[in-house]
Chain A
Amino acid sequence: MVDTGIVSDRSVYLESEETVPGGKPAAFHFTGDAFEYFKIWIVNVVLTVLTLGIYSAWAKVRRKRYFYGNTVLEGSAFEYTADPVTILKGRMLAFAVFMAYVLTVNVYPLAEPFLWLIFLPFIPWVLIKALKFNARNSAYRHIRFNFDAGYRDALFVFIIIPLSLIFTLGLTYPWFAYRQRKFVSDHHRYGLSMFRFHARIAEFYKIYGLALLALLAAGSMIGVCYAYFLAPVFEALNQNRPAEFEPLSGILWIPAGFAFLIYLGLFAFLRAQLQNLAWNGTRLEEIGFESRLRTSGIFWLYLSNSIAVILSAGFLIPWAQIRMARYRIEHLTLFSPRSMDHFIAGELEKAGAAGEEVGEFFDLDISI
């Protein structure tokens, strides 16, 4: 598996291009506007605070409806149909679980590992519920998405594999990422049509391998930087002579800033490449997708967004979110050999909101 890191860029690109089926391209468009969303966002914040969090369920629905309703494909936008009251009930349940956990841990601190043993088997169930809730409440052209997965699959992918990472020293992490993505994609449906994930595991190894190489290279560069240029600073520090240290302290920011840029760059690389891989490896029957995110594009967005958000004390968060959504959506294209008119709705069944809300509460990453 390790030698997949040296597969050339070109060959993988050609392979993934071959797997994209022919057909008419249809681009995704994003019609959201930063100022328009700012006003929605600020009202969400205000009403959520004033109602001590109760409005947060409505806020969430309005936020998701805004992004869905402005994501347009072939003249139709996506729909988010969740009922805020259902979400609120889910949050109440999550609130109760969280309070019970906090109180128990404070009264019996030694019980914390046992509590996690009790929670652990519930995590796959919560994940399935959350994915199902989100899928069932997403629709396009009045046909709903759906998500169906068995408990044992989820247990294997989200609990057993992560635990096995301990024994493989994390070397099988790309395998975990692959299985996770495959689990999410393979169990989604649009109407009666199934999504399929056909990307190869080697492509995951290649992305993580490149990231690791870049990290090692950058790490040694920073090490050299510290050793040769910053020795006087450390000497002053070690001998506790602040007066000498003072004029040199500015230099410390150079490698720190450098490390931050590298961290951001790696993060951008992983986000862009993994998302491209996720979409390019997904098929909906004979329909293929192409995502063309660039590491440089994502890097610039992350950098400018974080600076803007920090300098504006958070008020540019909506602007940052809109820019990110626009970049991601506008770089996605769908290829279909025939028109999108033939998808048939599945049967209706309910999915409670508790799953998604419990999942969100404990900050599990369940983004699709």
Chain B
Amino acid sequence: MNRIDGLYFDGRVSRPTRVQLNFDSEGNLDLRARDFHREYAFGTLKFSPRIGNAQRDIFLPDGGKCETFANDEIDKLLIENRTGWFGRVVHALESHFIYGLASVLLTLGFGWSFVNYGIPAIAKEVAFALPLEADAALGRHALDVLDRLIFSESGLGREERDRLSGQFTSGLHGFDDPERIRLLFRNSVSLGANAIALPSGIVVITDQLVELADNDEEIAAILAHELGHVKHRHGLRTVLQSSVVVLVITWLTGDLSSLSALSAALPAQMIEAKYSRHFEREADQFAREYLIANRIPLRRFSDILSRIEAESPSGTGSMTFLASHPATEERIRLFSPEVSSKHAISNP
């Protein structure tokens, strides 16, 4: 029925033989050349999938192969004999431009929502399914590394430390597991006025921050924010999220573009920055509730936050950019007295 011209190779020597392929209505192959003639049942043949108009191969049961560029005829034959549905569906997608455009939109939407909601939701589920020991394991060595790199011993007096620790501990009631949370004091010139929460429940506060604070309530506000990170297990979640993001991006770009080196690093960083902003908001929210529960004025948090901003070295380009960043204003607004608590809670 269908007569197709092609080349035949026996699979042992690279010598081509010009052949004529004749398929009958059941798809059985009758292969003819000048000096030979063979027949193959349709079921014994293997057809390579269609990819554009690239060369098509028909693998024969005796180890031989036929090559042809007659893609349409082969497709017709396969449709008539109802096989190769997978390749045909993919090829149909590949050959209709409008499907392509529609699927781009679908993919962008899917990809965007997966990165924005899917990955964080999975990481959250996984993090809370893991025992608290997972957080502890993450933090155990982190403190050693930080001590070596940016921290030195605190210069604060015994008395001041005890007072702050006592205030910190008394504010912990209502926390599920107060015994795993500890406050440590460190000096750090490079970090400046700052506080860090490690996943294990250790909160580190710098001497510089204690100096900068006008009163203990401001310190409590900052510590409450760090406790929010511990409570919501942000350390573990960040690790989980960023590894999934890096993995997904490596996977996609490694396979789909030759520009992987260029494109891989950038989006991962952007997405991670977004994640951490979300976590900051969550920790702020926790701090807000903490301050209300402990009857501390909300403006203590915004006061110290704006002072930390002002304190950070200005003048260089990057810092002026940071100062005008809307995130800080947004954070301060959350702690300004005009905002009703209802509004703040419904707006995480």
Q: Which residues of A contact B (CB under 8 A)?
A: 31-33, 36-50, 52-53, 56, 58-60, 62-63, 65-66, 68-70, 72, 75-77, 79, 91, 95, 98-99, 102-103, 106-110, 140-143, 191, 240, 309, 314, 317, 320-321, 324, 340-345, 360-361, 363
Contacts and interface: CB of A to CB of B under 8 A. Distances in A.
Interface stretch (B25-33, B181-189, B244-252): B244-252
A88 to B, nearest CB: 12
Given A50-B106, A108-B141, A75 B16 contact: yes
Contact of A53 (B15, B95, B110, B251): B251
B252 A70 contact: no
A342 B16 CA distance: 10
B11 interface: yes
Nearest to A141: B14
Contacts of B14: 140-143, 191, 340-344
B259 interface: yes
Given A49-B110, A62-B90, A342-B15, A361 B254 contact: yes
Contact of A70 (B10, B54, B251): B54
B36 interface: no
B164 interface: no
B97 A341 contact: no
Contact of B252 (A48, A63, A75, A109): A48
A39 B243 CA distance: 31
B336 interface: no
A242 to B, nearest CB: 8
A362 to B, nearest CB: 9
Interface of B: 7, 9-16, 48-49, 51-55, 57, 64-65, 67, 90, 93-97, 100, 103-104, 106-107, 110-111, 114, 137-138, 140-142, 144-145, 239, 243, 247-248, 250-252, 254-261, 263, 315
A49 B137 contact: no
Given A39-B97, A48-B256, A341 B13 contact: yes
Nearest to A111: B141
Interface centre among B141, B248, B256 (most CB of A within 10 A): B256
A107 B7 contact: no
A46 B247 CA distance: 17
B252 A53 contact: yes
Contact of B16 (A108, A321, A341): A341
A345 B11 CA distance: 7
Contacts, number: 170
Contacts of B258: 317, 320-321, 324
A161 to B, nearest CB: 23
Interface SS of chain A: helix, strand, loop or mixed? helix
B239 A42 contact: no
Contacts of A102: 239, 243
Given A53-B248, A109-B145, A45 B11 contact: no
B243 A36 contact: no
Given A43-B94, A340-B14, A66 B64 contact: no
B54 A43 contact: no
Contacts of B260: 363
Nearest to A87: B255
A306 to B, nearest CB: 8
A143 B254 contact: no
Contacts of B110: 49-50
Given A75-B16, A99-B243, A40 B251 contact: no
Nearest to B92: A43
A46 B13 contact: no
A344 B12 contact: yes
A240 B257 contact: no
Given A43-B100, A50-B107, A75 B7 contact: yes
A363 B243 contact: no
Contact of B256 (A32, A41, A98, A342): A41
A49 B111 contact: yes
